[in-house]
Amino acid sequence: MNRAGAIVGRIAQIIPTFFLIGVVVFVLARLLPGDAVSAMLGDRATDEAVRRITHQLGLDRSMVAQFLTFIGQAAQGHFGQSLAFRVPVASLISERLPVTLLLTLMATLIAMCMALPLAFVAAMNANRWPDILIRAVFQVGLSSPVFYVGLVLLTVFAAGLRLFPVGGYGEGLPAHLYHLFLPALTLALSFSAVIMRTLRGSILAVLRAEFVDFARAKGLSARVILLRHVLRSAAITTVTLVGLHIGSLLGGAVITESVFAVPGVGRLMVDSIFSRDYPVIQALTLVLAVLVSLTFLATDLLHGWLDPRAGV
C-alpha cells in the first residue's frame, strides 16, 4: 500500500472513532449529577421556572431524541447554542481554540529548547554530578503544582521584575506571544522534564548501542557520532512524546489558563463541565478529538520520515 493510501485509510478509520467519542461524551455529560438548568438558574429559581426553561431548551425530550439532534447537527458541522453563554458554540470555540493552540505550540518549543541540550549534557555525564544536578532541577519542575509555579512566576517575573504582563492575552500576535510566554513556560516546566528523562534514556541507549562502537572503530569522533544519531533519536523521542501528550497539552492546561487568565479551551471545557453546558462539552470534545487524531497522524508520518524502519 502506498503512503497516500495509508493516510486515507487512517482517516477512514478515524471516523467511527469520532462517532464513538460522540456517544461517550454525550452519555458522560448526562451522567454528571445536577443539570444545566439548575446550574444556570442558581439557588433562587422556583421549580416552575426550572421546568419552563428545561422545556424551552428541549432538555425534557428523550435522551434518544436529544442524541439524534446532536449527531445530526454535528454531522453538518454545527453545534447549536451554548446554554450558559447563549451564543453559538462555534463562535465560542473559534475565539478560544487559537489561544490554546498557540499556547501549546509555545510550550512545546520552550520545553524542547530546555530539554534537548540538557539531556545531552546529562547523558554524556551519566551518573556524575552534572547529570544528577540536571535531573534534580527538572524533577523540581516536574513535581511542582502548576498553580503554585504559575503564581511564583507571576510574582517574580511579572509583578516583581515587570518583565512580563500579569496574565491576560493582549491584542495582536506580538502581544499574544508576550502574554503567553509565562503560561507556556509553566506548562513547559513539567513537559520538558518528561522529554528530558526520555531523551536522556534514548541517548544513553544510542551511546551503548553496538553501532556506535562500530562507528568509533571506523575512526569517527564521538561528537560526529552523537550529532548524527542522537539528534535523530531526539527528534523521534520528541515527536513521540508530543503525540502521546497532545491531548493533555491541548485540553489539560485548565489550571494554567485559570491562573494566567488566558481565555483558552481548557478553561472553557472545565467551566462547561461545571455549568453542565452540554452543547459546549460535546462540541469541544469532538473538536479536540479531531485535532488530537490529526496530530497522531502527523506524528506517525514524521516518525516514518525520521525512522524509515517504522511504517505508517
Site for another protein in 124-163 (CB under 8 A): 127, 132, 135-136, 139-140, 142-148, 151, 154-155, 158-159, 162
Residue from 70, 104, 239, 251 binding another protein (CB under 8 A): 251
Nearer to another protein, 223 or 309 (CB): 309
Q: How far is the CB of 306 from another protein (least distance, A)?
A: 17
Span near another protein by CB under 8 A; candidates 72-80, 214-222, 229-237, 285-293:
285-293
* Nearest CB to another protein, comparing residues 126 and 235: 126
- Please, are residues 300 and 3 in contact by the beta-carbon 8 Å criterion? no
Interface residue with another protein, options 271, 298, 301, 312 (CB under 8 A): 271
Please report how close the Cβ of residue 160 comes to another protein at its closest, in angstroms: 9
Here the cell at position 12 is 477512514
Compute CA 136 distance to the chain's CA centroid, rounded to the nearest angstrom.
25
Question: Residue 201, interface with another protein (CB under 8 A)?
Answer: yes
Question: Nearest approach, Cβ of 215 to another protein (angstroms)?
Answer: 21
Q: Which is nearer to another protein, 41 or 298 (CB)?
A: 41
* Cell output for 90: 462555534
Per CB under 8 A, contacts with another protein among 59-78 are none
Site membership for another protein, residue 298 (CB under 8 A): no
From 9, 98, 263, 311, residue interacting with another protein (rule: CB under 8 A) = 263
CB nearer to another protein: give 36 or 102.
36
The answer to whether the beta carbons of residues 114 and 192 sit under 8 Å apart is yes
* Residue 218 Cβ vs another protein, minimum distance, rounded to whole Å: 26
- Min dist. Cβ of residue 59 to another protein (A): 13
Find cell 551511546 and name the residue: 207
Q: Which of 112, 233, 288, 303 contacts another protein by CB under 8 A?
A: 288
Kindly report the backbone phi and psi dihedral angles of residue 68, in degrees, each rounded to the nearest multiple of 5, phi listed first: -65, -40
Range 181-200, binding another protein (CB under 8 A): 190, 194, 197
Nearer to another protein, 227 or 294 (CB): 294
Q: Contact with another protein (CB under 8 A): which of 107, 165, 206, 303?
A: 165
Pick one of 121, 235, 273, 306: the residue that binds another protein (CB under 8 A): 273
Applying CB under 8 A, does 247 fall inside the site for another protein?
yes
